[in-house]
Structure 1
């Protein structure tokens, strides 16, 4: 997928709609009481931060929207606290939309990345949130669905700095 980021000229969007994304190393550490400032020093976030930062520096915008159930899951609480270290510090914009406020937005059945509004990368996870695969599409109908859904969510969503998880 790194080649998709490299080929992108203008924008990357990512819509997340799950309440858990598996047992990541950072999440497990946080659950045992390791402070986020210490987790931020782990080297597993560095490749992502470097990738995003490099593309943002060349003018590509990164926007991530998260549709979440409230009260939030432990994973989403961790993700919200970690966002300044994992996303914002690299140059991403992040917004949150409580699921109740998204009830009338038509959305795809799974998470996705979209590159320059012409390629969609569908992201598939198991019921426990573990990654199970990706699929690329350049189908105009799928691209239209993703663009419309992302922009509708983004318009309603709350900027990370203002969002307080319930």
Structure 2
């Protein structure tokens, strides 16, 4: 599978036309962008979430153009500190049109899931996100192989069937 840079990944995320599906399977991540804001949250400091404004603006433009943006987060319960923080900051993205849903890990025991988080764009391109053990992004891999596309599409839809909408999910 071809490897792409973080900049190329960002560019690809801006190219889909109809649908972006994102499956998250880890209990903690450590992106350079998020870590300082999560630290503020952990210290009880206020955050106006202005750092999410560009992404939310992008989401609104996708939705206005008729596209669908869905994210399913498979989480262990009780939630990790990262996922509690993530839940606390999701509302601007949901308000902008991203359909974020939460899936307690116990509900996916019988669902076949790819070994890595992924984005599936327009049912034609899979971007696998590989992480280190500490949750830092290590690599982006891409595939247009029909079997990879179908694996990710069917796994996402199976997870989505048991997913709980953000507004209805009560963190445990």
TM-score (norm 1): 0.91
- Alpha-carbon deviation of 1:19? 0.3
Divergent runs of 4+, >6 A: none
SS at match of 1:128: coil
Cα offset for 1:88? Answer: 0.8
Residue 122 of structure 2: aligned partner:
116
Q: Give the match for residue 86 of structure 2.
A: 79
Q: Give CA deviations for 1:88-143 in whole Å, capped at 9, x if unaligned.
A: 13210011110001100000011000101110000111111111121110011111
Q: How does 1:1-166 map to 2 (within 5 A)?
A: 1-22=9-30, 24-35=35-46, 38-41=47-50, 44-85=51-92, 87-166=93-172
Contact 1:26 1:39 in 2 (8 A): no
Gaps of at least 5 residues in structure 1 are none
Q: How far apart in 1 are the matches of 2:131 and 2:71? A: 18
Task: Tell me, yes or no, if the aligned pair for 1:53 and 1:90 is still in contact at 8 Å.
Answer: yes
Structure 1 residue 24: deviation in Å?
A: 1.6
Is contact 1:29-1:39 (8 Å) kept? Answer: no
Q: What RMSD, in angstroms, separates the aligned Cα atoms of the two structures?
A: 1.3
TM-score when normalising by structure 2: 0.88
Give the Cα–Cα distance (whole angstroms) in 2 for the partners of residues 5 and 100 of structure 1.
30
Distance 1:74 1:154 in 2: 23
Question: 1:45 aligns to what SS in structure 2?
Answer: helix
What are the ranges of 5 or more consecutive residues in structure 2 without an aligned counterpart? 1-8
| Distance in 2 of aligned mates of 1:161 and 1:89 | 11
Aligned residues, how many?
161
Stretch deviating more after TM superposition (141-150 or 6-15): 6-15
